[in-house]
Structure 1
Amino acid sequence: MVKRRTAIDSDNDQDDRLGSPSDAKRSRLNVTEIEGQVELGNDQSSKLKGKGKARDDSDILNDIRVDDDDDIAAIRDTHAEDDEGAQERFEEEHEESIRESIRQRNKHQGGVAKFGIIEAIEMHQFMCHKYLTFKFGPQINFIIGHNGSGKSAVLTAITVALGGKATSTGRGNGLKAFIREGQPAAEVSIHLKNQGEEAYKHDLYGHSIVITRRFTKEGASSYKIKSKDGKLISTKREELSAICDHMNIQVDNPMNVLTQDAARQFLSSSHPSDKYKFFLRGTQLSQLSEEYETCLENISQTSKVLLRKKEAIPDLQVHYKEVLTRFEEASKAREQRHKADELKKELAWAHVAAKQEEVTEKATEVHKLEQRIPKIQRSLEEVDGKFTAATAAVEVHEREHENLGNIDHLIEKKRTLGETMRANRAKLSDLKTDERSISENLTSTKKAIQGLESRMEAERARVAAYSQSKQDELSQRLQQAAVDVQATETNLKEAEALVREKQEEAKTLQEQGDRVDREIHNARNSVMGLHEQIQRCIEQRNNTLAPYGRDLKNVLERIGKMRWHGQKPLGPLGVYVKVKDHTWASLLRNVIGAHMASFVVTDGRDLPVLKRLLKESGNPNTNVFVSEVDLFNYRSGEPEPQYPTILRAIDVSDDFVLRILINQAKIERTLLAPTRKAADELLSGITAGGQCLTADLWRVQRWGDGGGQSQPIPPLRAGDPRNLLFTGQDAETQLQYWQGQSAAAEANIRTLTSQLSELRDRFTQPNARRKIEPYDPNQFHLALLVLHVSKRQCRDFRRQLAELRAARDSLQTEANDSVLVEVSGLDEALRDMITEKESLMAQYKSIAEQKAVIDQAQAPLLKELNDVKKQIEAFDGRRQEAQAQVAHAAEQRLAAQHEQQHWSKKLLEEEKKVGDAKEQLNINWTAEAEQYCARVHNPRKVQVVQRNLESVQAALKEREKRQGASVEEMAVEVNKARAALETAQKDLKSMASLNRALKQSLRLRLEKWHDFRRHIAFRCKVVFQYHLSNRGYFGKVLFNHHDGTLQLRVQTDDLNGTQGGNRDKDPRSLSGGEKSFATICLLLAMWESIGSPIRCLDEFDVFMDAVNRRISMKMMIDTANSSDGKQYILITPQNMQNIHVGPTVRVHRMSDPERGQGTLAGGSSVA
């Protein structure tokens, strides 16, 4: 059979299609189903010209003729009636020539195909083969082996490798069924010959094309198409289809690869129509039929469309006549339009006359305008002078401001003086405390002196009453008094020593206690903050938004569902910010951390709604910025590239968020440095000064005039949620870190509490010699209380000692029977108290002197401090004055600049006015009017001509209103209607002509198709009979193309002329050997009409006896030898004994089934 590409040159390329249920639709193409064709007669229509006159439109429509169903049915019936007679005539004419060609072909030795045949095949884990490979001969290949050796797997591998369907092999429902048991994937490779002039892309593939298909248990399948050298060329299924199409390999055609099941179906189908469909599929006539049917359907659809278009032409003709009639009626208004045109011409020259009058006025105006320009220029020159002077003044004041220098030395001196004065004030405070203590002691001494004086007076009065009987008692009391005095003196010394000791210890412990107390307080706050931080880390494990606030996931969901006046709010901003270098993380948490939890809205009306939403979720302090989406250029605000800034230390994934941070935190100009010293050095290299933040938490500011300041940045407290920002760690790692910090802080609290208790114990430990009053161990400042108690005890001891001494002296006097002795003792005690009073007075005086010295030292310090403050204030005043002068000069310069711009703009405006006026003078109105029309002499005034023109135009509009359109519009409408009509007629004629040509082409193709079918069927009959005769059988193939049936009749040699009845057998009544032989004969007859270079047949001789098998094998070998460019692959379970094979035959013997064999050693070839 002729290949599809050459037989149907004008058809579109389509994929090869196998037989389907639609094959049973008909056995031949029904030519007479072409209906509704549109034919056009000679094109005698002429274009509508002038006023639309043309010959009668009915003549044009008569040129268009549509075939009716009877006409097309007649074509169908004629072909059907002639079909049987034509078949008989064809057989009579060509039978002898076909038989002669068969005889001649048997004498001819066929050539080897140069492309399209299989050179070799490889199978990996395919069906029962672990690995199998061998090479095919170019003509005849027999694959022999015992049952179960995997012979049929070769045909299955060929089908699979060339892209065939798994179901067509009859061995499985899918590719997964072909994978060797227990293996995940299988692979099949086939080598196709690719030589000669018609080779497929020989420059790309070379002499061979290697196609590899791999498929897995999961259902995946892939192709690799390689060149002879192993270079991968393509992996697309389309490339494989193109290769098979070019080489005419029809892998799914059951006639090319005939399996056992297909062979049995081919011969033993129960119904003749099934045999006929098998015949059409094998010869590809059914595919041609289906494609022709598609063409027929398209032609029919086109015919229906053309009929609808033809029905629309009368409406277009009616519309054209209507608009043409309206146009003719509107043409009557042309006289009025001519009058209007004449009035327009007169109006043009009336305008010329009016403009000539205006020229004189414009000349005067130009003269006046030209006189104003010099005045404006003088004003501009004056303003330029002011601007220059103001600029110079600004420069002078700026230099004065720069020359002021700085006052860092004064600030340092002020700090030193302040520290010295604070130290002196601390000394004064201590002296005042001692002074108060001495004053209290002095008061107690004075009271004791007064008591002694009173007792002396009483003793003198009591002397007379004493008797001798009291002497013994007085003696005992005197001894006891001496003991008491001695003991009291000892206690007083101990108490005074304890006071001095406690004073020193209290001062030291006061400082230590305050420090430890502050550390405990800070540590407790830190622990509370760390617990909060741990809780946030726990939340962060399930919610990445935890560092930015409470319940933000729900907030964002509600934001997404709500409607907003502007864009949807954006935030939190920290989601879009990442730190590049974690060296700056601690600093950036402190500086821009507050902005990370912020949100942004683009419409101010959304601000209260979002604030309320945040407040409801527990985030009342979250900042919300209002800003339009302005992606401005911020590069001008950045320093040189060598200076690190906050912007350069972070990555911001959203451009809008970046602009928000620039506006709110000035991240593009805030510099960064590792230390305070490095910040000073960095800013010293920038003339304009600036601000720099350091990694050790300092804010360093320098101004352009040389001044500056440095301030520490307070570190974040432990519980601050900003500590979770910019960590570069996951939530679990942070949780472990903060838990460790919390444990360390709690341990620190325990250590500090122990230290505080130790300090209290050291100070409040009872004296070994005297028990101090009970104390409260929980009172932090107990040291001061003990010191106060000790001082009070000293005063009591002194008073008690004085009293005891007085009592002792009194008893001594009494014991000596002398009244004066008692008084003398009191007098001695009085003298002691006076001596103590003088000592206290001396101490008080010494303290007063020390205070005087300190006060005297404070006075010059205070004066010097006041002088420094005045110098600083004076410098600040001068600097402010200089700044004010610079600002004033800048304002004057700005005012001069504005005035300069004003006069420059004024000058440009006046010059433009002059230019416009001159341009009006230079306009040649006469030339323009002459271009419009000839001169109209003595035109009337513009107003008069305008009124007449308006009157005529109003009349025209009234007529147009009645007509519904203007004359111009109706002319356009006429042209459009005429163009639409002509276009429709032209398109209808051209499409009808095209459809007629397509119908004629299809008719010719159908005739060729019938010729193909007739020739193939008859050749099949003759060749079938020829092959049966080799066994001495007679048979015939009965084709009924009209009914779509194929019947076989075979007469075997067991029937002879003596038997009566019909000697022809139905295939179902044949024996197994006869049936297999008949199958081979019919298959060889069919192969005569197939163009594919490959023929494959599986176990064709399984039911044959030795005689039938020998004759069949010889017949197939002879047929293959006489065929040009054909390759045969035949599978048989029998051996090749008693079979004569030639050099063109290659026999491949497969090993017995072992299910684990390796490479097949190419089989054995028998020559």
Structure 2
Amino acid sequence: MGKRRADSDDEISANGSPASKRARTVDSDDERAPPASARRASKGKARRRDDDDDDDESGSEDAPDYDEEAERKFEEEYEDSIRTALENRRKFQGGIAEHGIIEAIEMHHFMCHKYLTFSFGPQINFIIGHNGSGKSAVLSAITVALGGKANSTGRGNGLKSFIREGQPASEVTISLKNQGEEAYKPKEYGKSIVITRKFTKEGNSSWKIKSKDGRIISTKKDELAAICDHMNIQVDNPMNVLTQDAARQFLSASAPTDKYKFFLRGTQLSQLSEEYETCIANITATAKVLTQKKEAIPDLKSAYREAHNRYEEASKAREQKAKVDELKKELAWSHVSAKKKEMETKVADAAKQGRRIPKIKENLANAEAELAAEDEVVMGLERQLDTLGEPQDLQENKNKLSTEIKANRAEVSTLNNELKAIGTQKKTLDNQIAEYNAAIDKETKRLEKDTESQRQETQRKLAAARADATTAEEALKAIRDQKSAVEAELQRHRNAGFTAENRVKELRTEVMDCESAIQNCLKADTDRYAAYGNNIQKVVEQINNTHWHGEKPLGPFGIHVKVRDNRWAELLRNQLGGLLSSFAVTDTRDLPILKKILADHHNPKTSVHIFKPDLFDYSHGEPPAEVLTVLRALDISDPHVLRLMINKASIESRILAAKRPEAASILAKLRGGNSWTLDKFNVTRYPEGGGSSIPIIFRSNHPMLLVGSATDELQRWRHQKVAKEAELQAATATLKETQAEWNKAKKDEQALLPKERAADQQYHRAKVISRDLQNEMNDTLPAQLTGIQEALKDTEAEKVILLKQYDALATAKAELDQVQNDLVKKKEKVQDEINNFANKRQAVGDKIEAAVGKRTAHQANINHWKKKIAEEEAKVKEAEDAVAVVEQEFKEWTEQAEQYCAQVPAERAVEVVKRALESTQAALKERERRHGASVEDMAIEVNKAKEKLSKAETDLKQMTSLNKAIKTSLITRLSRWQEFRRHIALRCKLVFGYHLSQRGYFGKVLFDHEKGTLQLKVVTDDQVATQAKGDKDRREKDPRSLSGGEKSFSTICLLLSLWESIGCPLRCLDEFDVFMDAVNRRISMKMMIDTANQSDKKQYVLITPQDMNNVVIGPTVRVHRMTDPERGQGVLGFGS
């Protein structure tokens, strides 16, 4: 019975008197004085000693009896100190309680109140109002809310009687202060604990225990009991909550025995008394059980002696048993010897098994070397495949060679023109040389016919003609240089025109593609199935209206699939386009039906798959989370579509990468796999090594595949079309500009042609005139043979120079012709390579496939040898484990044998020793049969009898000692109980006298603890102090002879004196002044207010139907005034 020290204000002087203690309030109405059996047990010593150990079974030390003389001495000893302590305490103002007092109360449909709420003051609260205003309902509500019994309120036998008439339920909420160091669970409840109790007409009742902020912490009554226990609130204690009926009975008609019971119950002494009575009954019952146990010990001793005698009689069989023991020892060590031989055999087998592994490892090394060599072959073929290049690269190379051939052809044409001009000049020089030679011959014949005048005139004309020829030659050369520049410019514009024209064609195609995509997007905006085939909307409608053997077909898949990042949309549309348009059925019988529906709507090539709706786990096939896969790039809303695409396209393991090298690097880290790349390659790496990279051929797909919003895609294609149209317009303008420049250059070339012809004719005419004049000069100046010869020499020198120019141009032309031939051959070779690219790539691929096959075979060999090694190692491990097991068994058997006995020679086999042991045991059993039991059984019987006797004696001794200690402790507690009662009674007497003196009365409280009575004696005459003692005795009155006011005042003084003895922070009293006159009421009110102000950390709730006009109200007093008796009032109005 654990107790917590009460937070009371009744600590007395420093003389060390024990303070009162409290226990949890009980529901019984049977309040009693100290237990009668305890008093009887305490009147003497009752010791009964055991014959063997003299232990006390039921005796105890004496407990002090009730003695009037002792009571008188006690009062004399402590009266002054207690009186002094009380006087000192009245000089101080009591403090406000930090926990355990009521802050506010709220009632809904409770008794006569529809709704009532108000707040209490922390110290003194008066609730006043006319009769019938519902004042007493407040105390009933406090009792009900704090878990008290309904019948303790005196207002009903059950909770249903508190429900306002006509209402199905009632609810009472009370808020308790919860602050300070001793607050109850402050972290959970905060500074206030709000308790709400709701009960219904059907008899249901529930609690909600909430924190200050309204959070529900508990709904259990146990939590409420713990709160009340912690805060020392005793709601069923009549001293704490004195209801109207109890107050009237206490004030008017209580008998001395009733007052005494009220005193014991209010101070909780009666509860301690009841618990001590229970303890005494238990001690007595235990003593009876111990007596019975003690009577059984002689029988146990007799059984032990009989078993011991029987065991002694069987001692003659011990020698034979010793032989059995020796044979058992030999058998134990025989088993150890056999296990040792087994261990040696297992060790040899394990060693033999381990010698096979090195040869297998050698075969594995050879296979790995062959695999490495084949890896080199595969990598060489892959490099060869990479050197083949790509078709785009070959086409670009061909275009480049064509451009170079065209440019080279223009240069060759220019050189041919220059060689042709040099040939013409050479013919002219050859003619001149012939003419010079003829003139020299003629000159030699006509030397004598020369005339000077004619020679000079001819000389002048010849000089003029030569000057004209030189001018014409320079003009011709300038025109030809200009023509060459124009031809080069024309060729440049021609090449630029071809490039611009091709770009215009490409852009026109792209614009048309954009227009087609826009139309598809517009169609998809109204038909979400447009991207998946012809009339798919009608296909889906017919699927929904058709009865199927299995589940309704699933599809098209693309409806449930969207791409997360649009950068992968084009690639995934190309690679998954066919799968996205597919359907699936769960029953093979539905396959032809769905195929026919698709064919009827012009979709004969749409794939239909058969699947089982199994949501299998695919996570084991996924790469690490940081690697992007097709599955992770898609958002698939249907789990069955997701798993179908995993089965059909391995989207959970197929990697996505930007470039081919990046894909190869990722797959190498993953030790194989497959990847699609944005640069349009399908990259594969095999687990055993090697791989391939195959270009992805892009097909035209519907732009709405994998796209979530048709509006967004339409907007994107429109923007793209605008951009392409702008590029097309710019490319067209560039083409027109190039054509205009080419036309201008062509016109310039055409304009230069007549100029070239005219200049050439002018040059040739000047040369003819010069030649004719030279001929004439030769005719007219035959004597100047030396001059002709000089001219001949000059002409021949000019011819030599001209021939050198011709040779240089011819060499340059030959080189250009060689370059041209090389370019043509390269172009033809590239064309052949383009034509043969697929064949060559296929041939290299076949070689790679063959090499990979060999490598796979080598890998299979490696796997075989690895498996073989694993098997052999497993066998070795199994053999070693067997060795370990046998060794462990040998070790354990040896340890067990050593525990059983020391090692003995064990040369004989196990079976031989067993036979000898069995024959000896058979003989021993025959002897035991004659005795009726085996030696072992008799030994066990003796040990059991001895153990049973020892245990009984030990238990009896321990329990007797324990019962004695408990009884001694109980007697000590009874002494303390009487000590408590004396202190409380003495305090009550002194306080009672003090309160009576406030009215000018004298009186005393007479306690008879033996008879259980409490009587009041009151002297109402102030002058009696001067009278004689006999006269004083004559004036003392019994409360029954007092007037109503005097009786009520005296009883209030008694109640206040009793309140000094309890530690509950809450005191409630209803209609205490019902029989008082004005004077007694005024004094009682002042006395109660003063007492309340002096009480430390106590809260008073006092109910009276009288007003408070004649009472001085201080700051610690709060008056709550109830409205006139009505049965429909709302919020309580009050003043303070």
TM-score for both structures, normalised by structure 1 = 0.47
TM-score by length of 2: 0.48
